[in-house]
């Protein structure tokens, strides 16, 4: 029996020179991290609402992945839904969202911080793609907002586990707008 050559490829575009491949691999990583966060949060008390939100976000993360090479699959309705999630959890977070905090806490919150970081890396990879080809602005909006949603969800996850945020004060930058 002849072996199928696909067994030796993890992704058909791996040898392309375009930054698009790096973006697609980065957003695949983000989508995988969302799945990990779901698995972790399912084991923490009171996190059902966050898990439900992540289950809605995860396929959108794969849609943002394919929206450059393929057909644009992130819609204004998707962005509006995510915007509403952000507004809701910013209101719940209160003062915690106005501070720079260390990415720590419960396993679930830590997983969400990893998702936040992956969304930012995806945004940066998309910027590199935009230097090579036209990229719809909604993809930048979605990824930037997604990173912020992961942040406010991490604050909520810590709050649900009675874990306090640890404020980080930078010695490098000092107070914003201050000395």
DSSP assignment of 36-101: HHHHHHTTSTT-HHHHHHHHHHHHHHHHHHHTTTS-----HHHHHHHHHHHHHHHHHHGGGGGS-B
From residue 61, how far is each of 35, 51, 82, 138 by CA, in Å?
A: 11, 15, 12, 13
| Residue range 17-160, CATH number | 1.20.1200.10
Taking only the tens place, the pLDDT of each residue in 15-68 is: 667 889 999 999 999 999 999 999 999 999 999 999 999 999 999 999 999 999
pLDDT tens-digit readout, 74-116: 999 999 999 999 999 999 998 888 888 889 999 999 999 999 9
pLDDT tens track for 140-159: 999 999 999 999 999 999 99
Decide: 50 and 157 in contact? Cβ < 8 Å.
yes
């Amino acid at each position: 029996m002849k072996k199928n050559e696909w067994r030796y490829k993890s992704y058909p575009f791996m040898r392309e020179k375009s930054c698009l491949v790096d973006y697609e691999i980065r957003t695949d990583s983000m989508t995988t991290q969302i799945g990990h966060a779901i698995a972790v949060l399912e084991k923490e008390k009171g996190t059902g609402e966050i898990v439900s939100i992540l289950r809605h976000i995860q396929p959108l993360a794969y849609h943002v992945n394919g929206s450059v090479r393929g057909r644009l699959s992130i819609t204004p309705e998707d962005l509006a839904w995510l915007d509403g999630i952000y507004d809701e959890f910013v209101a719940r977070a209160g003062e915690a969202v106005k501070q720079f905090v260390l990415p720590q806490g419960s396993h679930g919150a830590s997983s969400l911080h990893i998702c936040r970081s992956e969304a930012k890396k995806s945004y940066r990879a998309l910027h590199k793609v935009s230097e090579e080809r036209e990229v719809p602005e909604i993809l930048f909006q979605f990824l930037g907002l997604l990173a912020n949603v992961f942040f406010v969800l991490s604050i909520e996850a810590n709050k649900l586990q009675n874990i306090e945020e640890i404020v980080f004060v930078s010695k490098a930058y000092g107070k914003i707008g201050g000395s």
